[in-house]
Amino acid sequence: MTDDAVPDLRASDADRERVAEILRDALAEGRLDMEEFEERLDATYKARTYGELAPITRDLPAAGAPVPAVSLTKDPAAGPDWSGRIVGGEGSSTWAVAVMSGFQRKGRWTMPRRFTCLAFWGGGEIDLREANFADREVEVNAIAIMGGVDVIVPPGVEVVVRGIGVMGGFDHREEGVPGEPGAPRVVVTGFAFWGGVGVQRKLTRAEKLRIREERRQEKLERKAGRRELDEPRRRDSHWEH
């Protein structure tokens, strides 16, 4: 679908799915919150024409489109300072094991150059959203046997998946997303047998709250602006009566 498409022309299922994919990318990147995503996705699948589809993603970059250069110049309060998060050293923890149990590495910790973990009839979570990094490139070596491991990375980090699955699998959905300048690369390797290793890209809770508050303030400002515009009309209407 293109902007110059005839607005009244009927959209196809493939057109709707392309719009849905742009929305999913925007949700993963933090451009939309879950409420907005659900509203727009619902409108996408109800849309019958190009004219109804076009406004849904008008304020979002198309899938695969380059990000405007201005977006790469970030307010330090708006996201991580990568130069300050690649700290060297040995890392806070280099291994973890879950046998019919679970493990977590999350919060403020230092991801080592290589982190090895085993989940056997259990599960593990490696959350890098608030972590520092021992090096520009780090590796998660995950072995999942009838169990699972989840790797959570923040937006801006490049992900490479090289694991092998036998009656199990590694999640490749976050591969191919370019990393931000200076951001680390996370390489996920290992072996999954009747198990799985997932990779998710999420915002921290603090970033979600910040974005939600910014959008709330924008809505309040728009409402205030509409009230200011409506006030002269109400006064005129009062004098007419």
pLDDT confidence of residue 132: 95
| Element holding 106 (H helix, E strand) | none
Q: Is the pLDDT of residue 82 over 80?
A: yes
Handedness of CA 103, 107, 108, 111 (dihedral sign): positive
pLDDT confidence of residue 73: 38
pLDDT confidence of residue 103: 97
pLDDT confidence of residue 71: 39
55-71 burial, b at 16+ Cβ within 10 Å, e below that, comes to: ebbeebbeeeeeeeeee
Strand partners, 99: 120
Q: Is the pLDDT of residue 79 over 70?
A: no
Reported confidence tier of residue 134, pLDDT bands at 50, 70, 90: very high
Q: Is the pLDDT of residue 21 over 90?
A: no
Reported confidence tier of residue 234, pLDDT bands at 50, 70, 90: low
